[in-house]
A and B are shown apart, each in its own frame.
Chain A
């Protein structure tokens, strides 16, 4: 059946079996399965599709007390407000920048940590490191930002103290007052909080790699680094790509909490994200329509990014989500 032998093109992706026609007997045979899927279906419809109806708010001057029929329709007014506001471009830039920084930093650090942890042979030590690194995941952001702000303080912040002792800086730096540091601080806080947690899934993927591959590599004379690059990394490539595609869909979700809680007047130009903008001009003012318009914009961009990533991945012959 090989191309070389037969000279015929082989279909490497054989078509699925012909679809079985849906008949009454089939439905009858699978009625338990069908019934079992009903609650899930209802759940999805109720919580994922019905709320989309609320998007209509974005095209109205929504007033909570009125019925749907009594709302005034205003077309794209709220979207216009969004896109014509001077701040919006800046806010979009900040959101994308912080999102990408988080995405890339988060990915690289998690994979590196997983690779390194995998090399540790002392089980106790490995467990300890893993536990310590994922514990911050369970703290809420309000606590984490408190810790971050305290560590960055000029008076007795650990970061400034360490840098001073190492003679890297002459005087304490007021980290949170400079816009240029802000994205970095947000990225670093994210890594600190989430790196251990994100590592878990890679460790699981690494664990499923066939040990025979390592043995073979060893026989071929591969050292630790070779094994890491030529066995472990390709082994978890599929996981990496899938997770990457999924996270790209969440790039715009960087958030609210970190920039909001760490931000201040001095770094406003770098710290305001779409969510904060929407809170300020939408929810805080009772302008739910504008808030919805902001939400729709985010969703559309996210879905586009997701599809784009998926498509690229397919083109590159990699795994894909859809």
Chain B
């Protein structure tokens, strides 16, 4: 070997290296993703399905992107193992890490989608999902039956196709609930007990209770008592924005109030002013937390978890973590009761609504899915009652018992059901949360949601809660609210897709900006300045193209009314 051949060898080595660098740079995203996707589940399925492989059942894998942070189920998860054995399907979940908009942007830019993704208007807009109606008609009789009443509602208003399968809100039979997760004025249970279990109907009564309690208890467990919290952070802005519509007896329609299918914004209306004026007065009395508009979500949760916050306007699910923490600290008296407040007693409260179909959620099959038929067939299998029982209650004898036809759990099983670690190995939560599901009751009369089974709910109640419910003569905290009327056909307006980048969307963004800026100012202003700030606010709203926003909503309400009414 002469020097020349060595240099040639070196040269080609460099060339190969440089090429591989360049290629690695190019294809990084794609290749690594798919490689990961193929390796991991292969391992897990090999581990779980060993020995039980049935020849007739062809194993296949569904890759899923969930638009929320979450935890991977354990490889030997009981339920997923069962699904794998019976249907051949194994799941490969990708949970959101970081910012959703950013992640979606990257996915859309590269058309890099897994088989299933959680619904999002951005994805639909980008053409990431395939139309499902023919697939369902042909291959999924159970799904078709499940969604029969909602078929028209599921159609995308922009082109009339069904792209996603809503996960919540498709009820079979009556709805059942013992847990209210929506918006309300929340108050500590201790206050109600202290005041001798009064019936609180109006905003004024509510604040009277808080003022009195705060005077009596300047500190709670050593922390200065905070009368009222308002969270207004990023997208969690309803704590500040949404109360006025409820106070005049309207359900949650987002940024608008709908009368006879005509929507208008309420931010600048007199009843809104009345509410913020009340908050302004309360601020003068030192009831409202000084830091309320400066805090972020974590700080808000931390304050609630301390047990020192007497009340707030919020949606229950938004502060569930804080309540869990209070329960863990054994501060049951510091957890909250939701009150459906109105301005005056002549108004009937409308906080509790019949759950509407949640259109902006659920799964859609992407254009990249290799075998949409298999996936829709899988979903069709899993929507059947026997599977739904496994997915919600678990496995009979292990996770619950049947006594006289009623499903019931013992204490250990109940504790398991709220244990996050146990759930990773024994529940198919990541799948179940977003998949189509039965809600309400099974044919045998048991509740589809274990926690909503009346016996279960009673058995799980704390002594303190029993005391309060008995005092009021209620079965659950939901009874504080009026029984909801059937929803208006087009309800709720907040689920209307404003179309990305449209004038309507820009107006909405501007309105939110103005509200975020001026409402805190108005609340914190000295009472003599309140009117001035309010007038500035109304003036600024006048400059926004509110009409574009209202028009889009009204057009969609009308569309819904026309399309959804026909059955």
Q: How far is the CB of B12 from chain A (nearest CB, A)?
A: 10
Are A149 and B101 closer than 8 Å at their CB atoms? no
CA distance in complex: A36, B396 (Å): 67
B127's closest neighbor in chain A, by CB? A65
A64 at the interface (CB under 8 A from B): yes
- B296 and A261 form a contact (CB under 8 A): yes
Dominant SS at the B interface? helix
Q: Contacts of B224 on A, CB cut-off 8 Å?
A: 155
Give the number of residues in A that approach B within 8 Å (Cβ atoms).
Answer: 39
Q: Is the CB of A284 within 8 A of B101?
A: yes
Q: Is A138 an interface residue (CB 8 A)?
A: no
Of B21-29, B40-48, B137-145, the one with at least 4 CB within 8 A of chain A: B21-29
Of B83-91, B277-285, B469-477, B499-507, the one contacting chain A is B499-507
Interface centre among B128, B290, B291, B296, by most A CB within 10 Å? B291
Interface residue? B125 (CB, 8 A): yes
Is residue A204 contacting chain B, with contact meaning CB distance below 8 A?
no
B294 touches A268 (CB 8 A): no
Name the B residues within 8 Å of A265 (CB-CB). 232, 293, 515-517, 519-521
Known contacts A64-B109, A149-B299, A174-B290: A287-B501 contact under CB 8 Å:
yes
| A35 adjacent to chain B (CB < 8 Å) | yes
Quick one: which of B286-326 are within 8 Å of A by CB?
A: 290-291, 293-296, 298-299
> A145: shortest Cβ distance to chain B, in Å?
8
Q: Determine the residue in chain B with the shortest Cβ distance to A47.
A: B25
Query: Is B69 close to A, CB under 8 A?
Result: no
A280-320 at interface with B (beta carbon < 8 Å): 280-281, 283-288, 290
Q: Which residue of A lies closest to B20 (CB)?
A: A39
Known: A39-B17, A174-B290, A177-B294. A288 touches B517 (CB 8 A): no
Which residue of the partner chain, among A43, A153, A264, A286, contacts B21 with CB atoms under 8 Å? A43
Interface residues of A in 137-164 (CB under 8 A from B): 146, 149-150, 153-155
Q: Is the CB of B293 within 8 A of A264?
A: yes
Contact A32 B11 (CB under 8 A): yes
Report yes or no: A286 in contact with B122, Cβ–Cβ below 8 A. Answer: yes
Q: How far is the CA of A195 from the CA of B127 in the complex (A)?
A: 47
What does the 1/0 interface line of B505-523 toward A look like (CB < 8 Å)? 1100100010111011100
Given the complex of chains A and B, what is the CA–CA distance between A265 and B232 in angstroms? 8
Known: A32-B10, A39-B18, A265-B516. A154 touches B291 (CB 8 A): yes
203-243 of chain B: CB within 8 A of chain A: 224, 232-233
Residues of B near A38 (CB, < 8 A) are 15, 18
- B126: interface (CB < 8 Å): yes
Question: Which partner residue on chain B sits nearest A282 by CB separation?
Answer: B501
* Set of chain B residues within 8 Å of A39, measured between Cβ atoms: 17-18, 21-22
Cα A287 to Cα B504 with chains together (Å): 13
A266 interface hit (Cβ, 8 Å): yes
A268 & B521 in contact (Cβ 8 Å cutoff): no
Residue A46, interface by CB 8 Å = yes
CB of A174 within 8 A of CB of B21, answer: no
In the complex, A31 has a CB within 8 A of chain B? yes
Contact A35:B291 (CB < 8 A) given known A149-B299, A281-B509, A285-B509: no
Tell yes or no: A42 within 8 A of B by CB: yes
Give the residue name and chain of the B residue nearest to A174 (CB).
B290
Docked complex Cα distance between A153 and B14 (Å): 58
B102 close to chain A: CB less than 8 A = yes
Partner of B500, one of A36, A146, A264, A286: A286
In the complex the two chains form, is B516's CB within 8 Å of A268's CB? yes
Across-interface contacts of A269 in B (CB, < 8 A)? 517
Judged by a CB distance under 8 angstroms, whether A176 is at the interface is yes
Judged by DSSP, the binding face of A is helix
Distance from B22 Cβ to chain A, minimum over Cβ atoms (Å): 4
Q: In the docked arrangement, what's the CA distance between A35 and B13, Å?
A: 10
Q: Are A31 and B11 closer than 8 Å at their CB atoms?
A: yes
B411 to chain A, nearest CB (A): 38
Is B108 close to A, CB under 8 A? yes
Residues in A whose Cβ lies below 8 Å from that of B22: 39, 42-43, 46
Q: Is the CB of A266 within 8 A of B294?
A: yes
Instruction: Say whether A64 contacts B18, CB under 8 Å.
Output: no
Bound-complex Cα distance A46 to B24 (A): 12
User: Is residue B105 within 8 Å, beta carbon to beta carbon, of the partner chain?
Assistant: yes
Our pick among B294, B506, B517 for the contact of A285 (Cβ within 8 Å) is: B506
Q: Smallest distance from the beta carbon of B309 to chain A beta carbons, Å? A: 12
| CB-based A-B contact count at 8 angstroms | 110
What's the Cα separation between A265 and B234 when bound, in Å?
Answer: 10
Closest Cβ of chain A to B419, distance in Å, is 28
A286 to B125, CA, bound (A): 9
Chain B residue at minimum C-beta to C-beta distance from A268: B517
Residue contact B509 to A46, C-beta cutoff 8 Å: no
| Contact among A31, A174, A279 for B291, CB-based, below 8 A | A174
Given A32-B11, A42-B22, residue A264 in contact with residue B294 (CB < 8 A): yes
B residues 328-347 with Cβ under 8 Å of A?
none
Contact A35 B18 (CB under 8 A): yes
Residue of B nearest to A66 (CB): B127
Distance in angstroms between the alpha carbons of A43 and B101 in the assembled complex: 28
Q: What is the bound-complex CA distance between A61 and B22, given in angstroms? A: 32
In the bound complex, residues from chain B placing their C-beta under 8 Å from that of A150 are 299
A248 to chain B, nearest CB (A): 28
CA distance A284 to B15 in the complex (A): 43
Q: For residue A266, which residues in chain B have a CB less than 8 angstroms away from its CB? A: 293-294, 517, 520-521, 524
Chain B contacts for A288, CB-based, 8 A: 105
Query: Bound complex: CA of A174 vs CA of B288, how far in Å?
Result: 14
A155 near B291 with CB under 8 A, answer yes
Determine whether the beta carbon of A42 is less than 8 Å from that of B296: no
**CB-based nearest A residue for B14:** A35
Chain A residue nearest to B291 (CB atoms) is A154
Which residues in window 105-139 of B have CB below 8 A to A?
Answer: 105, 108-109, 121-122, 125-128
Whether A281 pairs with B291 at a CB distance below 8 angstroms is no
Distance, CA A35 to CA B19, complexed state (A): 11
Smallest CB gap from A31: residue in B: B11
A285 touching B501, Cβ below 8 Å: yes
Q: Mark A37-51, 1 if CB is under 8 A from B, else 0.
A: 011001100110000
Chain A residue at minimal CB-CB distance from B105:
A283
Given the complex, which residues of B lie within 8 Å of A46, measured CB to CB?
Answer: 22, 25-26
Query: What are the interface flags for B478-517 relative to A under an 8 Å C-beta threshold, 1 for contact and 0 otherwise?
Result: 0000000000000000000000110001100100010111
Contact in complex: A146, B298 (CB < 8 Å):
yes
Q: Is the CB of A283 within 8 A of B232?
A: no
| Bound CA–CA A207/B141 (angstroms) | 78
Chain A residue with the shortest CB-CB distance to B505 = A285
Q: Which of A21-61 contact B (CB under 8 A)?
A: 31-32, 35-36, 38-39, 42-43, 46-47, 61
8 A Cβ contacts from A52-82 to B: 61, 63-65
A43, A61, A64: which contacts B108 (Cβ < 8 A)? Answer: A64
From A36, A176, A177, A286, give the contact of B501 (CB < 8 A): A286
The CA of A217 and the CA of B7, in the complex, are separated in Å by 55
A54 to B462, CA, bound (A): 59
CB pair A176–B509 under 8 Å, yes or no, is no
- Per the bound structure, the CA–CA distance linking A265 and B513 in Å amounts to 8
A-B contact pairs, 22 of them (CB 8 A): A36-B18, A39-B18, A39-B22, A43-B21, A43-B22, A46-B22, A65-B108, A65-B125, A149-B296, A149-B299, A174-B291, A177-B293, A261-B296, A264-B293, A265-B232, A265-B515, A266-B521, A269-B517, A280-B513, A281-B509, A286-B501, A287-B501
The 4 closest A-B pairs by CB, nearest first: A286-B500, A65-B127, A39-B18, A265-B516
Further pairs besides A42-B25, A290-B501: 4, Cβ < 8 Å: A65-B108, A149-B294, A265-B232, A286-B501
Interface residues in chain B, defined as those with a beta carbon under 8 Å from any beta carbon in chain A: 7, 10-11, 14-15, 17-18, 21-22, 25-26, 101-102, 105, 108-109, 121-122, 125-128, 224, 232-233, 290-291, 293-296, 298-299, 500-501, 505-506, 509, 513, 515-517, 519-521, 524
- Chain A residues with CB under 8 Å of chain B are 31-32, 35-36, 38-39, 42-43, 46-47, 61, 63-65, 146, 149-150, 153-155, 174, 176-177, 261, 264-266, 268-269, 279-281, 283-288, 290
